[in-house]
Amino acid sequence: MSRLQFFTHHKCASKWLERYLKEVAFINGYSYSSTHYSSIHLPASDHITAYVNASYAMAVGLGGGGIHIIRNPLDILVSAYHSHLTTHSVLDWPELARQRSILQKSDEVSGYFLTLAFIERDDFFNGAVGPLHAYRHWHFSDSAFQTLRMEDVVKDPDGALGAAIRSRLFHCRLPVGQQHSFEAIAGRPYGTTDEASHYRSGQPDQWRDALPTPVVRYVQTHYRELLEAFYPESLA
C-alpha cells in the first residue's frame, strides 16, 4: 500500500489532525507516527506520518510529497497570542515560558506584535521552526504537495481531507466526521469562545476584530502570495 505523509504547522489544528489520523490508523490497522520537530525523519515503514512543525526543506528531502494543511496566517497570529498567553503548556518548552512572561506584562496590542515576532523565528521551539517562518520558505507551487485549508478540513473532515486520504490509501475507512467536529471535541457550539480552552472558538476570521491595523498590513504584504492563492478575501 502507499505511504501517506502529512505536513502542518503550529496553530493549524495540529492536535486535532493527530487525533484524527490516529483513529484512521487504528480502524484500518495502519502504523502511525508523528513528530513536533522540523528536521526529524519518521520511519519510512509507517503507513501514515505527520510532521506538525514541518519545514519545506525537510519535507522535500523526504520525497514522495504529501498533504499540506495550512491556516490563514492572520488567524494563526490571533490563536497563537491567546494560547501563548495562557493555555498552551510550557512543559519542555522554555522558549514559550520566556515568551509568556513577556506577554503577561504587555497589553494586547503589543502582545500581537510580540507574537508575530515569535512565530516568525526559526527557533521558536528547540528543533522546530515557527509556523510563519515555515510559510515564508514553503514553495506553494510545488505540485508534490496537496494544500488543504485547515478551516475546510476541520469543518468537514469527510470532504477534502477524506478524499485526499482515499486518493492515496485506497479502500481506507474513515472515522465518523461528526465525532471530530469542534462541538464534539470542545464540548460547546462552534464559534463560542472559551478563553481557558486550547480550542478557543474554532471560528475563522477572528483577526478582523482582533489584530491592530499595522500587523494586518504587515501580514498582507509579506504573505501576499499565500493569501492570494488560498485566502484572497483576507486582502480586502
* 120 and 153 housed in the same domain: no
Which residue range is the domain that position 110 belongs to?
A: 73-127+192-235
CATH number at 150 reads: 3.40.50
Nearest by Cα to 201 from 211, 187, 213? 187
**Of 148, 168, 185, which residue is a domain's last?**
185
* 170 and 218 housed in the same domain: no
What is the number of domains present in the chain? 2
> pLDDT 10s per residue in the chain (236 long)?
578 999 999 999 999 999 999 999 999 999 999 999 999 999 999 999 999 999 999 999 999 999 999 999 999 999 999 999 999 999 999 999 999 999 999 999 999 999 999 999 999 999 999 999 999 999 999 999 999 999 999 888 889 999 999 998 988 999 987 787 767 666 656 566 656 555 555 678 999 999 999 999 999 999 999 999 999 999 98
Q: Is the pTM of this model over 0.85?
A: yes
**Of 149, 169, 185, which residue is a domain's last?**
185
* 199 and 112 housed in the same domain: yes
Task: Calculate helix-pair angle for 108-119, 94-103, nearest 10 degrees.
Answer: 160
